[in-house]
Chains A and B, each alone.
Chain A
Amino acid sequence: MGLFESIRTLTWCQLLACGLFALLFSWYSFQGDFIIALVYFSGFLVMGLLLLSDQNWPKKSYLIFSQVVFMVYTLASLLLILLAESPIYSLHLSLFLAYPLLALSLLSFRVALFFILFFSVAVNFLLMLQLDGVFRAAYLTVFWSITLLTLLHYFSHIAYAEGLKKQLNRDVKTQLLNKNQLVINLYKEQKRAQRELTSLGIIFIVNADAFDLCSINEIMHYFSPYEGLYSLSSNQLVALIPLFDTAELNYRENELVKQLPKLSFSSQLDTEQQPLVDYLKAYINKLEVENEY
């Protein structure tokens, strides 16, 4: 990615946007236009939240807080159209056109869509009452076509992102290889173990809560680079252990229990009676059914 499309540039842009929101808030407060000042202050809060979105916030409280802030921004924008005595069309349009972008950046898809629809319909009614003639037609056409274009662009983007997520062989949160890749690699390892006359086992690692990057890094220290660690679900990992027989695998499991007492472990060796591929496929299916419920 180019210099102008990096995470650092994004942070600087967000800081600059925060600064401009604050500047406009101060300007309109100084002018005595408190409704416009309120819109820019709420815009400042929205941009501030976007800036802090990469921090480790509790997910639920961040969602609630962002929805409350965005609600304030929406109401302030609508109040501005309702109460403005002499509308400044460039100011209004800059707010209307930026609205879907801010909603889609800050909120989850469904909530953002709800906000955009509500806001667009409300703005449409208010503008129909306030404007007239060709100007009204031109203004509303521009407003709706740009809003629809933004949504269309977002839909194509989200469809592509979802398509990529389906093709991924890694878990996005933990960055570990995922269950699809586990089945592929397990099959390959099984063939290789047969060819090289070695054994193959797996160790399940279960945590009460979801794994984070820190805990995964800690767990990885206890495995060699050739012993792959895979993510089955948010709180379940699997380590693929080649070259170990039953006794060694049990010893290894006991060692892990001693060293990582907060986690629970169980192991399984690849045998002719119970091939690991079938066992794991059944286990993954069971997990998926549980997740659905």
Chain B
Amino acid sequence: MNTDKFNYKNNQLIAVFYFIIGIGLAFLAVQFYLSSYYQAILLPTLFTPIFFALGLWRWQTSSQLKNDPAAVLALVMLAIFLLLQPKVFNDITQWHWVGLCYPLLAFYLLPTSASLVFNILLLIGWLNLRLYNQPIEQNIVFSTFFLLFTLIVWIYAIRSKIEIKKLEKLMGVDKETGLLNKYYFNEYLNAEVSRSRVTKKPLSLLLVELHQYPEIKKELGINLAKSFIQDVSSVCRNNCRIGDEAYRYDMQTLLILMPNTTINGSLVLRTRLYQNLLQALVCDIGPLDITITPLELRAGEQTVDFQTRIANSCYHSLSERVDDNLSN
């Protein structure tokens, strides 16, 4: 299962979850209406359409932000409901236990540290609005249960995240382009530098910087930006000779490592690659703006120095480097 497919399924799962909450609230609102308990009807009636709208929104699109705005809104609404809704069941004297579900929902909907903030705010609100007339000893014990449960959920969430991150880190392939990633490149560069030293053959590379990529991503959206970089990577891959390898160096830079190639050879390949890119690509926001920088391993140069030189040769990070130098 790739990341896109997983995100799509996950979004659908979350959308279904919003629909279920919406149906539950609608059911409550109808029940209050039929039993003429009008004091309690406001919040369920108000939140039902919002939850349905959130469900539709998540079903159709996915959030690109770290903290999903739909999840934030859903958690705020659930917190308001738990804190301000009048008592639902007359039989229940200690009905605050329902609030214990909140940490779980928070971490499923918003698996970041923001959910921890929501939980702590809910506990504070709970102690001030719901449990203010309870003995202090009971409140301390309840807060300990709540904090312990929140910690257990958080431990579970962090463990799952760390496991996935470990696996993603071990993946040598970039998710968007299918090219080998920077982690893999650094390892291979070391091997190629060592091989070049043993065989006394040259080693060079081409840095392909796509200056319009951030702008396309910002103005035309992630899908078009992804399609653009996939087209560029496909041209780069087709331009590789036997022994050459293409990598995704950073967000907007691709790299072709060319063993047994001098700087003159890489200049020829650079011209060929540039012509191929001009022919194959159509950029929606203006004429194609690409820089291709050839670099060659110098005699006696160490891998770390070569890596630094590659990083310093990127034009798009020039302003950051100048700022760093000025501040130093």
Contacts and interface: CB of A to CB of B under 8 A. Distances in A.
Contact of A90 (B6, B89, B94, B243): B94
A195 B243 contact: yes
Contacts of A162: 1
A14 B157 CA distance: 12
B113 A2 contact: yes
B194 A5 contact: no
Contacts of A228: 191
Interface in B10-31: 10, 13, 17
B167 A165 contact: yes
B interface secondary structure, majority: helix
Contacts of B195: 224-226, 242-243
7 contacts: A20-B147, A97-B101, A102-B152, A161-B164, A161-B167, A164-B171, A177-B172
B242 A191 contact: yes
A221 to B, nearest CB: 14
Contacts of B156: 101, 104-105
A4 interface: yes
A157 B192 CA distance: 37
A159 B163 CA distance: 13
B198 interface: yes
Interface string B147-186: 1110111111011111111111011110000000000000
Contacts of B151: 13, 16-17, 20
Contacts of B317: none
Interface stretch (A148-156, A231-239, A255-263): A148-156
A146 interface: yes
B132 to A, nearest CB: 16
B172 A138 contact: no
Nearest to B155: A13
Nearest to A40: B148
A139 B38 CA distance: 24
B81 interface: no
Contact of A224 (B92, B167, B198): B198
B234 interface: no
A18 to B, nearest CB: 10
Interface string A215-253: 000000000111010000000000000110000000000
Interface of A: 1-2, 4-5, 7, 9-10, 13-14, 16-17, 20-21, 23-24, 27, 50, 88-91, 93-94, 97-98, 101-102, 104-105, 133-135, 138, 142, 146, 149-150, 152-153, 156-157, 159-165, 167-170, 172, 175, 177, 181, 188, 191-192, 194-196, 224-226, 228, 242-243
B243 A94 contact: no
A89 B104 CA distance: 17
A16 B141 CA distance: 16
A160 B1 contact: yes
A230 to B, nearest CB: 13
A133 B160 CA distance: 38
Nearest to A242: B195
A21 B148 contact: yes
B148 A89 contact: no
A226 B194 contact: yes
Contact of A105 (B155, B173, B191, B198): B155
A64 to B, nearest CB: 21
A168 B167 contact: yes
Contact of B192 (A21, A50, A104, A226): A226
